[in-house]
């Protein structure tokens, strides 16, 4: 169990691995919990002040963790399998939520984390999950995403990306190449988790910037054409791959409004005929 409190930091033992985590706002049992799933090069600290702001503006608990191989969590063995996001969803996420003592949750993922949340909601029957917030999700591979990742590889090799990331990851080489080498593997070109959308049965909010170098609005259109659950979208002009950092006020306001609607629905009395 984590020590829950404002900016409480802890390490979770999950399946024999130590994972860095942080929690904010009310503990499970007092309110639902937003579970933050970071991007392919992210970790707890790279959410910046977003967890604190979300806790303050939603009144919900917020739980963030660094997946294995990221931040201060235990390192991961490389190469990562090409279905590493589906494996995180299928084999790890529920165990993390169990270890943290989470009850009712809203999964909030960014980029790879959004894909993990999407895969979880589409493949795992978990009544704790009340909604999804997907920021810049990936459901399939696009050419522009390949080029952006290759550019990041060049920056890591010859630019300052490695030094910048090293401030946040104990194993910066493992963190970077675990992500980069999977996405640029020729076998990854046919990767798709779009069929997960067909199985969602909870409300969903998707947020994307129009200038996202890693994915186009086709990712959001995939949701709108397939989803059977309530769906909202926020498309931000003059915004790239990280709306929560580039346009935090609009992004957090939209998330807070979505969460408030979910909580009202959960608490509403349902008339019985």
Banded pLDDT at 1 (limits 50, 70, 90): very low
Tens of pLDDT, residue by residue over 175-184, are 999 999 999 9
Quick one: pLDDT at residue 9? 74
Q: What's the whole-number mean pLDDT along residues 243-265?
A: 97
Quick one: pLDDT at residue 273? 42
Q: What's the whole-number mean pLDDT along residues 130-151?
A: 96
Quick one: pLDDT at residue 2? 53
Q: What's the whole-number mean pLDDT along residues 163-189?
A: 97
Inter-residue contact 138 to 114 (CB < 8 Å) = yes
Q: What structural domains and CATH numbers belong to the chain?
A: 8-266 (3.40.50.1820)
Give the Cα separation of 21 and 265 in Å (integer): 29
Quick one: pLDDT at residue 226? 98
Tens of pLDDT, residue by residue over 212-238, are 999 999 999 999 999 999 999 999 999
Quick one: pLDDT at residue 5? 58
State the DSSP code for 134: E
Q: What's the whole-number mean pLDDT along residues 42-59?
A: 97
Give the DSSP H/E element, type plus range, for residue 13: strand 8-14
Tens of pLDDT, residue by residue over 77-134, are 999 999 999 999 999 999 999 999 999 999 999 999 999 999 999 999 999 999 999 9
Give the DSSP H/E element, type plus range, for residue 226: helix 218-226
**Apex 8 CA angle, 241 and 206, nearest 5:** 25
Number of residues that make up the chain: 273
Quick one: pLDDT at residue 272? 44
**In terms of Cα–Cα distance, which of 86, 47, 81 is closest to 64?**
47
Q: Provide the H-helix boundaries in 17-169.
A: 50-58, 84-87, 93-100, 112-123, 143-158, 161-166
Asked whether the predicted pLDDT for residue 211 surpasses 80, the reply is yes
Asked whether the predicted pLDDT for residue 147 surpasses 50, the reply is yes
Give the Cα separation of 83 and 75 in Å (integer): 18
Quick one: pLDDT at residue 220? 98
60: left (phi over 0), alpha (psi -120 to 50) or beta: beta
Asked whether the predicted pLDDT for residue 202 surpasses 90, the reply is yes
State the DSSP code for 74: P
Q: Provide the H-helix boundaries in 142-217.
A: 143-158, 161-166, 172-183
């Amino acid at each position: 169990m984590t020590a829950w409190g404002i900016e409480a930091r802890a390490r979770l033992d999950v399946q024999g691995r130590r994972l860095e985590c942080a929690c904010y706002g009310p503990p499970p049992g007092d309110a639902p919990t937003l579970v933050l799933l970071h991007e392919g090069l992210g970790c707890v600290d790279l959410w910046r002040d977003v967890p604190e702001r979300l806790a303050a503006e939603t009144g919900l608990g917020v739980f963030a963790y660094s997946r294995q191989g990221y931040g201060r969590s235990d390192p991961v063995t490389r190469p990562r399998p090409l279905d590493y996001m589906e494996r995180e969803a299928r084999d790890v996420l529920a165990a993390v939520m169990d270890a943290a003592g989470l009850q009712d949750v809203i999964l909030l993922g960014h980029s790879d984390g959004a894909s993990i949340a999407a895969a979880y909601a589409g493949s795992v029957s978990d009544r704790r999950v009340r909604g999804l917030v997907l920021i810049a999700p990936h459901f399939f591979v696009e050419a522009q995403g390949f080029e952006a990742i290759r550019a990041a590889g060049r920056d890591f090799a010859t630019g300052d990306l490695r030094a910048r990331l090293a401030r946040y990851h104990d194993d910066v080489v493992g963190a970077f190449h675990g992500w980069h080498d999977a996405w640029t593997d020729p076998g990854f070109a046919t990767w798709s988790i779009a069929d997960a959308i067909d199985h969602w049965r909870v409300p969903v909010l998707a947020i994307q910037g129009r200038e996202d170098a890693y994915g186009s609005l086709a990712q959001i259109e995939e949701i709108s054409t397939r989803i059977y659950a309530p769906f909202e979208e926020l498309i931000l002009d003059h915004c790239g791959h990280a709306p929560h950092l580039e346009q935090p006020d609009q992004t957090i306001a939209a998330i807070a409004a979505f969460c408030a609607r979910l909580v009202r629905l959960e608490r509403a009395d349902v008339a019985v005929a």
